[in-house]
């Protein structure tokens, strides 16, 4: 049973394939015949599809099903006894005799399957196809063609220039048609690119390129005009072609306009003319820190690579290095132009260059600084694009300290040495606290001790202004002097840190006690009378009095130094967390000292008359006069021509009148303003710009174009800024829906 059903299905499939082949052969023959007459693959493809559709509808291969196959088998094979369709009946629907007949039919069909012969028209269809092919070849070689053959320069249908008449034409007038169009783009010589040819009127070229248009018409015309923005230029007649040449400098829109022999004018659509600039080279510095420093004993060498790319080619690359020597007014600079170690291939579009910088080869000494950057030029002509990287710094640390000379007229050397400020100490201390978990204990202690020494240097520097730089404030109350071991800093101390400040302080205290004892003896042996001039004499011998500041500033500076001392002590004890509060207090005091030392100039301005006490708070307003100032602020109106064009178009729509010359000039000026917006957003404004251009030059009145231009100008104008004002009108959702319905039906 299953084998018999499979035979019927295969027969049905073969039948459908025969019918499909008949349709395909006939359609293919017709398509080849059309291609021989019209050498266009697109036309032949369309004819082939249409022939398949029409012949298929006539033959209807889908109408052949299982029932038709069974009927055909019953008529072709008499031994089946017209019982083939019983094979597809359900068992519950058959009687016992029908089931026996179904079984006999299945066996008979299996044994007789070789006798099945399907009728088809493959031979006839093949003959029709070969006849069409032969006829087409015969017509092609004999030169007989029904329509005129299109030329090779005929532009594609999508790129063809379509002209619209500016005047009303009579029925007998056949307007000229563009037969061929060609745009040739010649790039600047430095790009190395060959000229390109296209038929697409929308042009996008490199700045400085030369663009040539060549248009051929199928009949003579009087003249052709090339319109670019507001400029018009007559095209040149050259060997049956109208040509025009333009050097790409500015982007914009252009159109073509021509006049036929009957003085009728035609205008094409607007086409975009985009100009892109030659991009400057791109430079990327790989793995090079912004600042690097070297010790005097280091190798003083470092290596870096630069990745350079350009769109048309790299002409030159160099390293501009500047070496500075000296300090202050005696600094000297020397500039050098260095080359990379990797050779550069001229006009290559990408390169990776390497350079090994040796500071010794630049004759740099300790204390000298190097500033350098990479400069790249491309091959643009006449003026190349130049790109330079940011500046990188390299310094050789100086081991010597310069001494500053002091003029004889100065009372003290107030030139400060280089040392950390209190704010920098706070930043470094906070950084040390953050890095504490990742540091080893010796490294942490060493850095904490270093900060302690910097705090000491800052405290001593401020002590110079006090006149006693070795005066040491008392230790914090919560820490006694006995808690600081004498030798715990030997491992982390500088040699200069082992100076005699502590010893100087101890000696000073010892001498002070010794002098104090002797002073008591002298006081006991002699009468101590008060000096009457002590309040009026400034004693320069007393360290407490020999200062450049007033007494209030002096006391504040002493407090700041005391906070610095406490901060230094905790840094020496490797406890920077406890040192931070004292550092903040010292910074606050220093800021207060700076603010108190400012000089304020008395403001010179309006001094109001004194208030009469008898009228103060009396509420009398008889002599009080108000002041009012009225001023009209004028703002420059934006898009005035577009707004004027809206008024012109609204009058034309209302009165259905023609456009005057003045109206056309307004529309043309509005188009110039809209062109700026259309360059940025052509999809939104190009259609409106095209309608404005057509209306500014056409003699006939086209209400469709007027409505489109009016709506486009409304969309192009920016929304007005709302002015605060009172309004009694009611606006609700129903009103909004009504207005939207009006706009949609407009």
* pLDDT of the residue at 151: 41
312-343 pLDDT, tens digit each: 899 999 999 999 987 766 778 889 999 999 99
Of 360 and 728, the structure prediction assigns the larger pLDDT to 360
Percent of the chain whose predicted confidence (pLDDT) is above 70: 66
φ/ψ bin of 391: left (φ > 0), alpha (ψ from -120 to 50), beta (otherwise): beta
Contact 16, 123 (CB under 8 A): no
The pTM score is: 0.46
Contact 394, 293 (CB under 8 A): yes
Question: For residue 156, what pLDDT band results from cuts at 50, 70 and 90?
Answer: low
Task: Report CA-CA distances (Å) from 287 to 290, 354, 457.
Answer: 10, 12, 36
Sign of CA dihedral 85, 89, 93, 94: positive
3-class SS at 194? Answer: coil
589-641 pLDDT, tens digit each: 888 877 665 554 555 566 777 877 777 787 777 777 777 778 777 777 788 88
**What are residue 373's DSSP bridge partners?**
320
Q: Mind giving me the DSSP string for 497-529?
A: GGSSHHHHHHHHHHHHHHHHHHHHHHHHHS--P
Sign of CA dihedral 463, 467, 470, 475: negative
**Average pLDDT in the 246-256 region?**
89
**What is the distance, to the nearest Å, from the Cα of residue 129 to the centroid of all Cα atoms in its chain?**
60
Alpha helices in 365-406 (DSSP H): none
Q: Which of 360, 358, 365, 420 has the alpha carbon at shortest distance from 398? A: 365
**Does 735 score more than 80 pLDDT?**
no
Cβ burial, residue 746 (10 Å; 0-12/13-18/19+): exposed
**What are residue 392's DSSP bridge partners?**
372
3-class SS at 732? Answer: coil
For 54, residues 6+ apart whose C-beta sits below 8 A from its C-beta are: none
Contact 572, 449 (CB under 8 A): yes
Q: Determine the Cα–Cα distance for residues 639 and 630; give it in Å rounded to an integer.
A: 28
Q: CA triplet 498, 502, 508: central angle to 5 degrees?
A: 140
* pLDDT of the residue at 484: 43
- Element holding 305 (H helix, E strand): strand 301-309
Tokens coding 340: 């990379």
Q: Mind giving me the DSSP string for 249-300?
A: -S-EEEEEEEEETTS-EEEE--EEEEEEPPPPPEEEEES--SEEEE-TTS--
Length of the chain in residues, anyone?
Answer: 746
Q: Determine the Cα–Cα distance for residues 626 and 483; give it in Å rounded to an integer.
A: 76
Of 491 and 449, the structure prediction assigns the larger pLDDT to 449
Of 357 and 686, the structure prediction assigns the larger pLDDT to 357
Helix axes 551-572, 422-435, angle to 10 degrees: 20
Question: For residue 515, what pLDDT band results from cuts at 50, 70 and 90?
Answer: very low
The domain made up of 163-276 has a fold known as Immunoglobulin-like (2.60.40)
Question: For residue 504, what pLDDT band results from cuts at 50, 70 and 90?
Answer: very low
Q: Determine the Cα–Cα distance for residues 34 and 47; give it in Å rounded to an integer.
A: 8
Q: Determine the Cα–Cα distance for residues 675 and 250; give it in Å rounded to an integer.
A: 13
Count of other CB atoms within 10 angstroms of residue 58: 8
Q: Determine the Cα–Cα distance for residues 499 and 275; give it in Å rounded to an integer.
A: 74
690 phi and psi angles, rounded to 5 deg: -65, -40
**Does 536 score more than 60 pLDDT?**
no
Q: Give CATH for domain 282-396.
A: 2.60.40
* pLDDT of the residue at 511: 43
Question: Rg (Cα) of the chain, in Å, rounded?
Answer: 50
Contact 226, 218 (CB under 8 A): no
For 471, residues 6+ apart whose C-beta sits below 8 A from its C-beta are: 463, 505, 508, 543
In eight-state DSSP terms, residue 385 is -
Question: For residue 474, what pLDDT band results from cuts at 50, 70 and 90?
Answer: very low
3-class SS at 72? Answer: helix
Q: Among 401-405, 445-449, 529-533, which is the least confidently predicted range?
A: 401-405
């Amino acid at each position: 049973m299953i084998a018999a059903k499979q035979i019927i299905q295969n027969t049905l499939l073969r039948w459908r394939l025969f019918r499909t082949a008949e349709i395909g052969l006939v359609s293919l023959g017709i398509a080849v015949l059309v291609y021989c007459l019209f050498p266009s693959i697109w036309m032949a493809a369309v004819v082939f599809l249409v022939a398949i559709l029409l012949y298929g509808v006539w033959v209807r291969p889908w109408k052949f099903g299982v029932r038709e196959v069974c009927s055909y088998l019953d008529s072709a094979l008499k031994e089946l006894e017209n019982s083939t369709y019983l094979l597809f009946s359900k068992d519950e629907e058959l009687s016992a005799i029908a089931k026996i007949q179904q079984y006999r039919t299945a066996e008979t069909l299996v044994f007789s399957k070789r006798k099945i012969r399907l009728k088809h028209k493959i031979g006839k269809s093949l003959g029709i196809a070969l006849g069409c092919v032969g006829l087409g070849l015969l017509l092609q070689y004999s030169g007989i063609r029904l329509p005129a053959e299109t030329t090779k320069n005929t532009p594609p249908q999508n790129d063809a220039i379509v002209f619209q008449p500016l005047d009303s034409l009579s029925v007998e007038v056949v307007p000229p048609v563009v037969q061929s169009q060609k745009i040739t783009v010649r790039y600047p010589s430095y790009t190395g690119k060959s000229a390109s040819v296209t038929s697409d009127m929308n042009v996008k070229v490199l700045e400085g390129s030369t663009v040539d248009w060549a248009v051929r018409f199928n009949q003579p015309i009087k003249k052709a005009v090339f319109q670019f923005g507001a400029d018009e230029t007559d095209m040149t007649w050259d060997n049956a072609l109208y040509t025009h040449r333009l050097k790409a400098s500015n982007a914009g829109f252009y159109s073509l306009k021509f006049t036929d022999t009957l003085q009728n004018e035609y205008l094409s659509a607007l086409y975009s003319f985009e100009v892109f600039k030659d991009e400057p080279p791109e430079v990327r510095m790989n793995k090079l820190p912004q600042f690097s420093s070297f010790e005097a004993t280091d190798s003083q060498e470092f290596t870096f690579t630069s990745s350079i790319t350009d769109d048309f080619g790299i002409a030159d690359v160099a390293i501009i290095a500047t070496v500075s020597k000296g300090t202050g007014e005696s600094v000297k600079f020397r500039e050098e132009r260095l080359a990379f170690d990797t050779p550069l291939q001229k006009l290559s579009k990408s390169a990776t260059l390497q350079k090994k910088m040796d500071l010794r080869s630049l004759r740099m000494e300790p204390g000298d600084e190097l500033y350098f950057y990479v400069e790249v030029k491309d091959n643009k002509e006449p003026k190349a694009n130049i790109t330079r990287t940011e500046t990188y710094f390299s310094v050789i640390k100086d081991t010597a300290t310069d001494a500053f000379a002091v003029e004889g007229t100065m009372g003290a050397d107030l030139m400060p040495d280089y040392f950390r400020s209190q704010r920098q100490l706070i930043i470094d201390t906070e950084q040390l606290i953050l890095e504490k978990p990742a540091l080893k204990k010796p490294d942490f202690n060493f850095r904490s001790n270093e900060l302690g020494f910097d705090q000491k240097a800052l405290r001593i520097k401020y002590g110079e202004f006090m006149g006693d730089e070795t005066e040491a404030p008392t230790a914090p109350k919560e820490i006694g002097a006995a808690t600081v071991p004498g030798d715990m800093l030997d491992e982390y101390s500088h040699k200069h840190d082992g100076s005699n400040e502590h010893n100087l302080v101890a000696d000073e205290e010892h001498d002070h006690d010794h002098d104090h004892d002797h002073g008591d003896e002298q006081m006991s042996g002699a009468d101590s009378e008060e000096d009457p001039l002590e309040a009026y004499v400034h004693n320069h011998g007393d360290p407490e009095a020999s200062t450049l500041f007033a007494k209030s500033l002096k006391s504040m500076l002493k407090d700041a130094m005391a906070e610095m001392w406490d901060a230094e002590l905790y840094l020496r004890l490797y406890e920077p967390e406890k040192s931070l509060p004292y550092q903040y207090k010292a910074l606050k005091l220093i800021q207060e000292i700076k603010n108190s030392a400012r000089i304020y100039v008395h403001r010179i301005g309006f001094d109001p008359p004194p208030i009469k006490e008898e009228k103060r708070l009396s509420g009398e307003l008889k002599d009080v006069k108000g002041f009012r100032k009225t001023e009209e602020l004028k703002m420059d109106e934006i898009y005035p021509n577009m707004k004027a064009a809206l008024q012109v178009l609204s009058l034309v729509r209302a009165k259905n009148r023609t456009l005057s010359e003045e109206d056309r000039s307004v529309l043309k000026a509005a188009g110039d303003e809209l062109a700026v917006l259309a360059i940025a957003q052509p999809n939104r404004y190009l259609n409106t710009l095209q309608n404005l251009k057509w209306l500014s030059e056409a003699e006939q009145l086209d209400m469709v174009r007027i409505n489109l231009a009016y709506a486009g100008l409304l969309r192009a104008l920016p929304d007005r800024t709302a002015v605060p004002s009172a309004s009694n009108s009611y606006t609700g959702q129903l009103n909004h829906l009504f207005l939207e319905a009006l706009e949609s039906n407009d």
